[in-house]
Structure 1
Amino acid sequence: MSETTASLVADLIASRGDETICRARLEAAQTRAHDCEPWLKAFVYRPDTFETRDAVSRPLAGLPIGVKDLIATHDMPTTYGSPIYAGFRPAEDAWIVERIRHFGGVVFGKTVTTEFAWREPGPTVNPWNRLHTPGGSSSGSAAAVGAGILPLAVGTQTVGSVIRPAAFCGVVGYKPTHGRIPSAGVNPLAPSLDHVGFFARTVEGAALCHALFVDAKPEAIADLDAWGAYFPVRRPQKLGVVRTPFWDRVTGEQKTNFDATLMRLAAAGATLVELDPFDDMPSILDALQTILQVEAARAIGPVAAEHPDRISRHMSVLTAAGAALAPAKYDAALALQARLRGEFDGFIDGCDALVTVPAVGQAPEGLADTGDATFCAPWSFLGVPAVTVPSGQSQGGLPLGFQVVGRHDGDLLTLQTAAWIEAALR
């Protein structure tokens, strides 16, 4: 399992320009991967050697970063979790990969994804208990950070594929506002819902990703003074507590953990207010499913039709359902999405952020099911930023998380709020 780092940004600033330190960091990741991979199975590909000479003077200073195998890398296979694309190498890097390399990060390897980021799981296990799922679809990225191999990894989320596996693996997950990370080079599942996101050991690591890839402000980590000015951790004035109409799905120990977390935050000085969930919350899940089915049929359907013997049942069912849906239902789902996105800032008004659970409980046992994404779905549908932080453990010793949701383009405030919550819980 991962160990909390005191300050990733301070470490990067201290090691900038020192190839010896950067090389030692990479070698430590390689050693940890060598020890864990025989059972963890977080990677589909790892190169044998890395070039750091030109990277160490840049903001990420040779930092090893995992990239989900849904995301194009020109120098490594990109298979999208499907045997159809075994050995496939794209002609160029995805936007996010190009930016990682531009800032001096090292693509440590391609991490396991479920098939086309949908439900058919890969071989990755949970780093806390290998009899349990790490979640999906960003299974390998969550597990690699959770096992302490990597400080950062990139994933994607269409419904719950960053926030939920982060919670299951005991790490921080960050899903930016929809569209703030360009999706060029990321194989689409449902473009109206797809997000690129990040896994980190601490909220500071997620904020580093925000500074570089969302805000495009590398100067924020020029030195510790610049970072302190960019990312001050402030106590939120008010947090809105959202339990949703689906609270009966939440396990008893997740409810207990959530309430205990709220008590700790109140004791630390946060004002909490219980908010009635959207009247449209059940409609949100139905509309999300409609958009997902139709857009998956468009994005994956042609490949599924061409290779029916190499597509999972999960994907066949999804694309067939999308192909059969009436256009009017899809148009109505998009209209609801647009309306509720426009109304969301009014719902959250007066609160620094909303808080809820990231999953119904601990990671399920077995690898056939990556878990229930209900408590991530509304925020993916609305396209608002979300962060999950570790908040405790189940009786079985598996991580439980706590989700923080912000307003559109309020990513930095959402991360600052999550960092304060992280500190209060620590």
Structure 2
Amino acid sequence: MSGQPCSLIATILANRHDEAAARATLQEAQARADTLEPWLRAFVHRPDVYAVRDACTRTLAGVPIGVKDLVDTCDMPTCYGSAAYAGHRPARDASIASSIRALGGVVFGKTATTEFAWRDPAATVNPWNRAHTPGGSSSGSAAAVAAGIVPLAIGTQTVGSVVRPAAYCGVVGYKPTYRNIATEGVHPLAASLDHVGFFARSVEDIAVAHALFVEGAHDVLDDETSWRKHFGAAPEIRLGVIRTPFWDDLIAPHQRDNFDASLQRLRDGGAQIVEVELAADLRAMREATLTILAVEAYRAIGHIGERAPALVREQMRALLAQGAATPLSTYQDALMLQATVRAQSVALLQGCDALLTVPASGEAPAGHADTGDARFCAPWSFVGAPAMNLPSGWSEAGLPLGLQIVGAMHEDMKLLRLAASIQTMLGFEARTVPA
């Protein structure tokens, strides 16, 4: 694959009713994966043969899509990043995988995940610097898009597992409103927090995925005119800046400088920027998030840890032990706080169209023992509000930096239109890793 990859909408329209074009798209993805995968390790499985004969008559027209190995696929191993499920072959596809195939998309392969989407890292490296983490848990999905192997990849986020790796890898990562995409057939970590999300190179590509998998608006992709009419520009923009209680202690200077520079670009582009104080206790929300996570992980995975403890890694065993020891009343209080904050989703924006904050404390950390700090993403997973990372620059070390945008629950399309305008104002597009 040479040059910058085509947009997702351009690829769809080029491949529609053209089997040769669909095959060429797939062959380019295979060639790029063959070149980069020996060191990138974004995929844990790729099939030997792909079928596209009838795909080009349907909406996704043979587009190759990476699918996180937390998502069941009946024709490929699904191991959930765990030795306890080595060689596991589900009986049926997850809902999102089934939708991809029904629309003519090609499940290009299973992307690497941390164990059960928790902290123990996968083998994937950061595509911009192999000595750094790509983030987690959707490590492989973020890296596969950043490397230009696939134009779209499926990830999941329980705390920060879409937005943070997107920031570390320099791509757009989108976590929709809670339950806007069905999690059926996706191995749970914490059902009250789990989201299915997308990685792509641009907001527009994310909007295409949203139209297909959330809105079910397939007809808007029939031609360029229909698409432009559906995905129009945002009107005047008012954005609220959230500087969390963790700001001074955790934000690296390069991330702080990039954030301030991004705000100035948005002001220069005509956006109204206001500083706001979130009308919720972020520290209490973080503690409640960790409580729900531990208890529900124990309920979903504890039986595996008890049956085969040697096959479950250290950080997961610690989480399961925490969940087992948490009093029921503490868990119920956490769920009550979550319900209260979710009901106040629109009010949290305080009259703004969206909120701005950082997606992470800075660039991707060096080493592969840890996938990074998720606390700047956690509040929005707890609330269930739509959130996304936009590439916003580069650190002095040559690693990507990002800007996180948060909307109100069930106002995803509004957030996507705002984000498209914001991406234009920032002036940063996702780059492709050289082959």
TM-score under structure 2 length normalisation: 0.96
Whole-angstrom distance in 2 between the partners of 1:161 and 1:372: 10
- In the other structure, the counterpart of 1:25 is 25
| Secondary structure of the structure 2 residue equivalent to 1:300 | helix
Deviation (angstroms), 1:237: 2.3
- In the other structure, the counterpart of 1:47 is 47
Deviation (angstroms), 1:8: 2.0
Deviation (angstroms), 1:279: 4.0
1:360 aligns with 2:358: no
Whole-angstrom distance in 1 between the partners of 2:198 and 2:169: 13
- In the other structure, the counterpart of 1:219 is 219
Whole-angstrom distance in 1 between the partners of 2:280 and 2:45: 45
Whole-angstrom distance in 1 between the partners of 2:284 and 2:2: 38
Deviation (angstroms), 1:58: 1.1
1:342 aligns with 2:340: no
When residues 264 and 6 of structure 1 are mapped into structure 2, their CA distance, relative to the original with a 3 A threshold, is farther
| Secondary structure of the structure 1 residue equivalent to 2:57 | coil
Whole-angstrom distance in 1 between the partners of 2:243 and 2:426: 20
- The letter of the residue matching 2:132 is H
Deviations 1:103-140 (CA, angstroms, capped at 9, x unpaired): 11000000000000001111100000000000000000
Deviation (angstroms), 1:4: 5.3
1:169/1:399 contact within 8 Å kept: yes
1:3/1:148 contact within 8 Å kept: no
- The letter of the residue matching 2:184 is A
Superposed, 1:294-305 pairs within 5 Å as: 294-305=295-306
Superposed, 1:8-407 pairs within 5 Å as: 8-248=8-248, 249-407=250-408
Deviation (angstroms), 1:3: 6.7
- The letter of the residue matching 1:305 is E
1:134/1:363 contact within 8 Å kept: yes
Deviation (angstroms), 1:347: 2.0
- The letter of the residue matching 2:311 is R
- In the other structure, the counterpart of 2:419 is 418
- The letter of the residue matching 2:324 is A
Long gaps (5+) in structure 2: 428-435
Deviation (angstroms), 1:233: 2.0
- The letter of the residue matching 2:52 is T
Deviations 1:299-349 (CA, angstroms, capped at 9, x unpaired): 000011000111111011101100111100000000000001111211214
Whole-angstrom distance in 2 between the partners of 1:11 and 1:276: 42
Higher mean C-alpha deviation, range 236-245 or range 291-300: 236-245
| Secondary structure of the structure 1 residue equivalent to 2:87 | coil
Deviation (angstroms), 1:351: 1.3
Deviation (angstroms), 1:364: 0.3
2:5/2:148 contact within 8 Å kept: no
2:17/2:57 contact within 8 Å kept: yes
| Root mean square deviation of aligned Cα | 1.2
Deviation (angstroms), 1:365: 0.3
1:26/1:63 contact within 8 Å kept: yes
Long gaps (5+) in structure 1: none
Figure out how many residues of one structure are paired with residues of the other and give that number: 426
Deviations 1:369-419 (CA, angstroms, capped at 9, x unpaired): 000001100000000001111000011000000111000111111111111
Whole-angstrom distance in 2 between the partners of 1:230 and 1:294: 42
Deviations 1:13-36 (CA, angstroms, capped at 9, x unpaired): 132010111101100000000010
1:4/1:201 contact within 8 Å kept: no
| Secondary structure of the structure 2 residue equivalent to 1:56 | helix
Deviation (angstroms), 1:424: 1.2
Deviations 1:272-323 (CA, angstroms, capped at 9, x unpaired): 1110133411100000000000000000000110001111110111011001
2:80/2:187 contact within 8 Å kept: yes
| Secondary structure of the structure 2 residue equivalent to 1:341 | helix
Whole-angstrom distance in 2 between the partners of 1:154 and 1:2: 24
Deviation (angstroms), 1:60: 0.8
Deviation (angstroms), 1:236: 4.1
Deviation (angstroms), 1:41: 0.5
